[in-house]
Amino acid sequence: MKAIIGITMGDGAGVGPEIIMKALGDSTLYESCNPFVIGDAKILQRAAGVVNSELKIRTIASVTEAQYEYGTVDCLDLNLLPADLPFGQVSPEAGHAAFMYLKTAIELANEGLIDGICTAPLNKEALHKGGHIYPGHTEILADLTGTQDFAMMLSAPKLKVIHVTTHVGIIDAVRMIEPERVYKVIQMAHQTLRKAGYAEPRIAVCGINPHAGENGLFGYGEEEQKVIPGVERAQKEGINVQGPLPADTLFFRTTRGDFDIVVAMYHDQGHGPVKVLGLEAGVNITVGLPIIRTSVDHGTAFDIAGKGIADDQSIKEALRQAVELAPKR
């Protein structure tokens, strides 16, 4: 039986509704999964007009009503937004709605009614103004599922990156990096790739400082104190991991095929190389959750919202990876 994937609409003022309508115009997606949208039907209908889609919107009150027919988009309509929601503007209503779409999806996944969640982008400022003080999707998912150990993984052609820290400032990130966290992220990377079919994942760990500290030449011994003990613990358990290694060459070596995944220490260290490969190519996967969640690796793109030009390749790839990772019915 095909996996049932709930697609959350994200921030209705951004490009999320547009890329969803574009993506669901690809009939091949329906060959591998049963997708439906958790959002606002009226906003999806508006997006259909923006992208010149001929798809119809079917409003449903529960997942059991979904028919998953190509040509018609099933929408679990929460009816939270006005039809004239301005494009490209921060809106507390849209921030709250984006939170409620995700909360609903998590509840459905916990009940076993859906097999995975694919999220369109939300806007963090709108989320906060809507009364939900979280750094982003990942932290909401962790909180609402009671998950303590989780990590953000980015997947792009030839490069997978998992993060020790994510949405915090660089000074806070260095403070938060500890051997136990490094070890757990290495362990999550190993387990995730094993489930995905890698017999013995090859894991590489970035240093914090330039040249991975170069034996104390740069920094104040962060690699020795914060990174190396976690790496050595994982190695003792038989995990194939190396590091800390200089980040300036490590990502190139990984795209060349030397490693299967990179453990990045902080947000921009990991995100930058993935996004150089192309915003449309990256997929965001939350690792460590009891449910499958994938996402586009780009934001709400308020500057182009309503213009119909947003690229749907990332959300299509996110849907494909949700299907690949989802438990089989």
Per-residue pLDDT tens for 124-168?
999 999 999 998 888 899 999 999 899 989 988 889 999 999 889
Tell me what pLDDT residue 322 has.
87
Tell me what pLDDT residue 174 has.
94
SS (H, E, C) 10-69: CCCCCCHHHHHHHHCCCCHHHHHEEEEEEECHHHHHHHHHHCCCCCEEEEECCHHHCCCC
Residue 183 has pLDDT above 80, yes or no: yes
Residue 138 near residue 286 (C-beta atoms within 8 A): yes
Structure tokens at 96: 């709250």
66 exposure class (CB count in 10 Å sphere: 0-12, 13-18, 19+): buried
3-147+289-325 maps to which CATH number? Answer: 3.40.718.10
Name the segment(s) of the chain with CATH classification 3.40.718.10. 3-147+289-325, 158-272
- In one letter, which amino acid is 81? L
Contacts of residue 28, defined as CB under 8 A and 6 or more positions apart, other chains included, come to none
Overall average pLDDT of the 300-310 stretch:
95
Residue 23 near residue 53 (C-beta atoms within 8 A): no
CA distance 78 to 101: 8
CA distance 265 to 194: 22
Structure tokens at 189: 């990377």
158-272 maps to which CATH number? Answer: 3.40.718.10
pLDDT digit string, tens, across residues 212-265: 878 888 988 999 999 999 999 999 999 999 999 999 999 999 999 999 999 999
CA distance 94 to 79: 11
Overall average pLDDT of the 316-327 stretch:
84
Task: Share the mean pLDDT of the chain.
Answer: 93
DSSP letters for 112-171: TS-SEEEE----HHHHHHTT---SSHHHHHHHHHT-SS-EEEEEETTEEEEES--SS-HH
- Secondary structure element (H or E) that encloses residue 318, with its range: helix 313-325
pLDDT digit string, tens, across residues 81-120: 999 999 999 999 999 999 999 999 999 999 999 999 999 9
Contacts of residue 123, defined as CB under 8 A and 6 or more positions apart, other chains included, come to 11, 13, 14, 90, 94, 95, 98, 299, 300, 302
CA distance 112 to 282: 27
Residue 118 near residue 318 (C-beta atoms within 8 A): yes
- Give the C-alpha distances (Å, rounded to integers) separating 113 from 4, 49, 65, 117, 146: 8, 30, 12, 11, 19
Question: Would you say how long the chain is, in residues?
Answer: 329
Strand order of the β-sheet with 72-77 is: 56-60, 72-77, 33-39, 3-8, 116-119, 293-296, 283-287, 151-156, 159-163, 261-264, 203-206, 241-245
